[in-house]
A and B are shown apart, each in its own frame.
Chain A
Amino acid sequence: MLKTSFRYLNLLFFTLLILLTFSFFLPYLFPGDLVTNMSGITPASEQQRDALERALKLDQSIAQQFKLYVENIYLGDWGVSTTTNTSIFSEVTEVLPATLELVFYALIIAIFIGIPIGIIAGLKHHNILDFTTVSFSIAAYSFPVFWLAMIFITVFCLQLGWLPTSGRIDLLYDIPTVSGFIMIDIALSDVDYKSQAYQNAISHMVLPTLSVAIITMALFIRFVRRSMMDVMSKEYIVAAKSRGFSSAQIVFKHGIKNALIPILPILALQVSTLITNVMIVETVFAWPGIGKWLIESIYQRDYPAIRIGMLIVSVLVLVMTISTEFLTRLLDPARENVEHATV
C-alpha cells in the first residue's frame, strides 16, 4: 500500500517535472523574438530591450530562470497576458471552474445513465434491446462532437427556439463570482430572482453538457457491456448459480463488482478524449471555459497565456488519469503483484 503510493507519487513527480521543463522551454521554441513574445512589447531601443530582459529575468542563467519559473508557478505569479494585460492567474481561476463544471455534469450523466445501460445490455446480450444499445453506442461515438453540437444548435436554438445558443447565463442576471461554479454562485448570492437565475443557467447548460455526455456515455456503455459479458461467462458465476443464488444476488454480488474494476483504467484513458471534446464544445457554445480561452489565445498569439494554459490543462488531465489509476490499484486485489506505476 505504502509502496504503491510511493510509486505513484514518484510517477506524478517526474511527469510534472517533464511538463514544467517543457513549458519553461516553450517560449524559446515560439517563432519571433523571445522578449517580444513574453512581454507583448517590441523593444524600440537597446535600453528598453535591456530593461525588459531584466524585468523578465532573461539576463540570468537558464538554471536560475528555471528555479524562478517554478517558484512563480507555485506562488501563483503566472505572468501577464499580452492581449488583455491582466494577470493570467486570475484569468485561469475564472475559466477553469467553468470547464470543470461542464466536465462534472457530463460525467455524472455518462456514469449514471451509461453504466446501468451497459450492465443491462451485457446481461441480456444478443437480443433486440442489446442490438439497439450497441448500434446507438457505435453511432454515438462516431459522431464528431462539433457536428453534434451544431446539430443541437440548429434544431433546438434556431429552428425550435427552446434554448439559448451561447454563454453560461444571460447578462440580465448579475451573479457575483465567488467560486466560479455558476450553480454554487447562484446559491451563494443574495439576489431575489434565484429560481429564474437557476432556470436560465440550466437552459444554457443543457446543450453543451449533452453534446459531451452523449459521446462519453456511448464509450462507457461499450466498455461496461463488453466487460459484463466477459464476467458473466466466468466459472465463478456458474459456481454461484449451482449453489442456488438468485440471479439478482449473482449480478449484484459477483457480476457488477468484477465487471467494473477492470474497466476503470480504460475509463481513465478516456479523460483525455473527454477534455478534448469539452474544449471543442466550449468553442462552439462560447462557454467561457479554459478550452475556449486557450484556443482564443492561439488566435491572438498570446504566448504567455498559451504556455500556462498548456501546463494547466495537461496537469489537470495527468492528475485525473494517474489518480484514477491509483484508485484502481487500491480497489483491485488482482493487481497486487504488479508493482510498477503505470498508466
Chain B
Amino acid sequence: MQRFNHYQEEYYPSPLMHVWIEFRRSHIALVGFVVLSVFIFIALFGDLIAPFDPNLQNTNAILLPPSWEANGTIVHVFGTDSLGRDVFSRILHACQVTFGVSILIVIIAAGIGVGLGVLAGLLSGLRSSVINHLFDSIMSVPTLLIAIIIVAILGTGLFNAMLAITLALIPQFVHQTRTFVKTELQKDYVILDKLDGASPMRIFFNSILPGMAELIVVQATLAISIAIIDISALGFLNLGATTGMTELGQMLSQSLDVAYVSPWLVALPGLFIFLMVFSVNVVGEGLRSALRNRLKL
C-alpha cells in the first residue's frame, strides 16, 4: 500500500488490511490464493464454462485421450471416459459438487461447533465436564467409521455422507472455541466488563466474539481440506455420492476398470482433488502465519 503523502503522518492499516499485507508477503500463499479463487469461480459458474453436458454420452468418441496426446482432439480437452462423456465438463461439475458440499458442511459444522464450544467455555463443573471430556473422546472416533455407521443406518448417498462428515468435524470447532473462550475469560478486559455489571451474554457478544472471528476462519480452512478429502474418500469407497451424481472421488473409482487403458481418467480427478486441498492448505497456512506475525508487531 504505497501512497504518496505530503504529511509526516504514519499509516496505520486496519486489522484486516494488516493481515492482507502480511499474507501477500508469502508468494506461495498468494499462488494458493489464486488457485483457490479459480476453484471458487468454478464452484459458482462451473456449469456455464463447461462445453458439454456432464452426462451427455458421445458414443462416437469413447476413451479419447486428452488433447496434449498425439491422437487427442481439442474438442474434448481432457478426453472422454468409457461412456464417451466429456471429462473436462465432468470434472468442472464434480469440482462444483465436491467443493460446494465441503464448504456447506464446514459452515454448518462451524455453526454448531462454535455454539457448543461457547457453551462449554462459559459453563463450569459437571455439565462442562460432560460436554468437554466425554464428547471429546467419543468424537475421536474416525470419520470413516461414523460414515460407515450412518450409511449402514440410512443407506448410501451424498446427503448421508455429508451428515457423517459434519458430525466428525464438529468436535475440533468445539475444542478450539472452548479453549479460546476459557483463556479470554481470564483476561483483564473481560473482568473489567464484569465489574461494569455486564451479563454473560453481553460479555460474549461484545467482548469475546469479535476476537474469535479470525480463529474460526483459520480453523475453517483446515476443516475444508479435511471435508474435501473425506467427501471424495467416501465417494471413492462407493459410500458417498451415488452413480447418478458426479463427484471427484466417485469419478476416480468409476475409472478404476479402465485404469490400465486410460490412466489419465485416474490421474485427472485425483489431481483436481489434490490441487483443491493443496490450495486450501496453503492459504490456511499463509493466513495462520500472517495472523501470527501481525500479533508479533
Contacting residue for B249 out of A18, A146, A283, CB 8 A: A146
- Secondary structure at the B interface, as helix, strand, loop or mixed, is helix
Chain B interface residue number, banded: 35 or more
Q: In the complex, which residues of chain A have a beta carbon less than 8 angstroms from the beta carbon of B56?
A: none
Complex alpha-carbon distance, A291 and B129, angstroms: 32
A147 x B270 contact (CB < 8 A): yes
What's the nearest-Cβ distance from chain A to residue B225, in Å? Answer: 7
Number of interface residues of A (CB under 8 A): 51
Please judge, given known A-B contacts A31-B153, A154-B259, A318-B137, whether A142 and B281 are in contact too, CB under 8 Å.
yes
A340 x B129 contact (CB < 8 A): yes
Q: In the complex, which residues of chain B have a beta carbon less than 8 angstroms from the beta carbon of A295?
A: 148, 237, 239
Complex alpha-carbon distance, A340 and B132, angstroms: 10
Please judge, given known A-B contacts A19-B138, A31-B153, A313-B142, whether A145 and B233 are in contact too, CB under 8 Å.
yes
What's the nearest-Cβ distance from chain A to residue B280, in Å? Answer: 8
Decide yes or no whether B70 CB sits under 8 A from chain A.
no
What's the nearest-Cβ distance from chain A to residue B257, in Å? Answer: 13
B249 x A314 contact (CB < 8 A): no
Chain-A contact segment, one of B13-21, B42-50, B191-199, B271-279: B271-279
B141 x A318 contact (CB < 8 A): yes
Q: In the complex, which residues of chain B have a beta carbon less than 8 angstroms from the beta carbon of A272?
A: 140-143
B137 x A340 contact (CB < 8 A): no
Decide yes or no whether A30 CB sits under 8 A from chain B.
yes
Q: In the complex, which residues of chain A have a beta carbon less than 8 angstroms from the beta carbon of B263?
A: 154
B151 x A147 contact (CB < 8 A): no
A322: nearest chain-B partner, CB-CB:
B137
Please judge, given known A-B contacts A141-B281, A280-B237, whether A313 and B274 are in contact too, CB under 8 Å.
no
A-B contacts at CB below 8 angstroms, number: 133
Decide yes or no whether A161 CB sits under 8 A from chain B.
no
Q: In the complex, which residues of chain B have a beta carbon less than 8 angstroms from the beta carbon of A299?
A: 238
B273 x A144 contact (CB < 8 A): yes
Complex alpha-carbon distance, A138 and B288, angstroms: 14
Q: What 1/0 flags go to B30-68 for Cβ under 8 Å of A?
A: 000000000000000000000000000000000000000
A306 x B149 contact (CB < 8 A): yes
Contacting residue for B270 out of A144, A276, A340, CB 8 A: A144
B236 x A280 contact (CB < 8 A): yes
What's the nearest-Cβ distance from chain B to residue A98, in Å? Answer: 17
Decide yes or no whether B107 CB sits under 8 A from chain A.
no
Interface-centre pick from B137, B229, B281 (highest chain A CB count, 10 A):
B137
Complex alpha-carbon distance, A342 and B133, angstroms: 5
Q: In the complex, which residues of chain B have a beta carbon less than 8 angstroms from the beta carbon of A314?
A: 141-142, 145
Complex alpha-carbon distance, A30 and B155, angstroms: 9
- Which residues of B pack against A, CB within 8 Å? 28, 129, 132-134, 136-138, 140-145, 148-149, 151-155, 225, 229, 232-233, 236-239, 249, 252, 256, 259-260, 263, 266-267, 270, 273-274, 277-278, 281-282, 285
- Which residues of A pack against B, CB within 8 Å? 11, 14-15, 18-19, 26, 29-31, 135, 138-139, 141-147, 150-151, 154, 158, 269, 271-273, 275-276, 279-280, 283, 291, 294-295, 298-299, 301, 303, 306, 310, 313-314, 317-318, 321-322, 340-343
